[in-house]
Amino acid sequence: MTFSAALAVLLPTTAGAVATAGSSADVTTKPTIVFVHGAFADSSGWKTDIAAVQRLGYPVVAAPNPLRGLSSDADYIRSVLRTISGPIVLVGHSYGGAVITNAARGVDNVKALVYVGAFVPDAGESIATVLDPQKYPGSLLGPGTTLTRPAPNPSAPGGQDADIYIKPQDFQKVFAADVSASEASVMAATQRPLSYTAETEASGDPAWKTIPSWDLVTLNDKAIPPAGQRFMAERARAHVAYVDSSHAVMVSHPQAVVRIVLDAVRHVG
């Protein structure tokens, strides 16, 4: 079955509604969907998800996440959001969830937040501290599966930082267990590192306290434990969905990502 056919099965009501929409009013009122990638990835990970929502007529922006520091990353994404007129549905994966939590603050036309296998921090929490590993075990991310390289970083105190990568030989089991070995190998080779500053910088006041949220929990995730994802989603009072997926859900299960994004779109109106 092709992805288009699978999407039609998953979303018959939405697909039918979009097929009848053809006026200029329909086009101008569609929200812009903004995808924000997380650590160890880039915007190309969203390519199948983007193609699906574009086929349904939605404008899309895949915003590059600098991965340099939580506040500076959020400031950059916020600058992108402020160039977009009309309603926005803001989607974040992994560390990108922490970024959208902060970037949406003060941007009134962000009408929904969608977290996809993501961190959903509260004020004062970093992605390194939001989940107690004793309470939420299961992540394979750690000193044994990562490597660091010294790197300059204007967002870091003193301008010097360390970049964190997943070791290529561990990338598939940590990040993309349900992606083919060949594709996971390419993803490992092209991964973008997360700075230590971005990992440890505390979040500000979270936008999910004032903006409706959705959360897709990835049940086979070896980077962010599923139980921890559920805790964060419930704390944010998000509309929660589940998928049997690795951390690389946008690659391995794009239908599930598109479905929850479109659920948020429907509620935006």
pLDDT of the chain along its 269 residues, tens only? 444 444 443 443 333 333 323 333 344 579 999 999 999 999 999 999 999 999 999 999 999 999 999 999 999 999 999 999 999 999 999 999 999 999 999 999 999 999 999 999 999 999 999 999 999 999 999 999 999 999 999 999 999 999 999 999 999 999 999 999 999 999 999 999 999 999 999 999 999 999 999 999 999 999 999 999 999 999 999 999 999 999 999 999 999 999 999 999 999 87
Which parts of 40-195 fold into alpha helices (H)?
47-55, 70-81, 95-103, 171-175, 181-190
According to the model, what pLDDT value does residue 12 have? Answer: 36
According to the model, what pLDDT value does residue 269 have? Answer: 75
Biggest distance spanned by C-alpha atoms of the chain = 56
According to the model, what pLDDT value does residue 101 have? Answer: 98
Phi and psi at residue 259, to the nearest 5°: -60, -45
Side chain identity, residue 76: Y
**Using only C-alpha atoms, what is the Rg of the chain?**
18
According to the model, what pLDDT value does residue 152 have? Answer: 98
Token pair recorded at residue 21: 């929409």
Phi and psi at residue 44, to the nearest 5°: -65, -20
Q: What residues have CB less than 8 Å from 93, skipping those under 6 apart?
A: 35, 36, 37, 38, 41, 45, 116, 117, 118, 249, 250
According to the model, what pLDDT value does residue 100 have? Answer: 99
For residues 150 and 242, what is the distance between their CA atoms, to the nearest angstrom?
37
Torsion of CA 66, 70, 72, 77, to 10 degrees: 60
CB atoms under 10 Å from CB of 56, counted, come to 19
According to the model, what pLDDT value does residue 2 have? Answer: 44
Predicted TM-score of the model (pTM): 0.90
Contact (CB, 8 A) for 94 and 122: no
Torsion of CA 74, 75, 78, 83, to 10 degrees: -150
For residues 76 and 122, what is the distance between their CA atoms, to the nearest angstrom?
20
Q: What residues have CB less than 8 Å from 57, skipping those under 6 apart?
A: 18, 21, 26, 27, 30
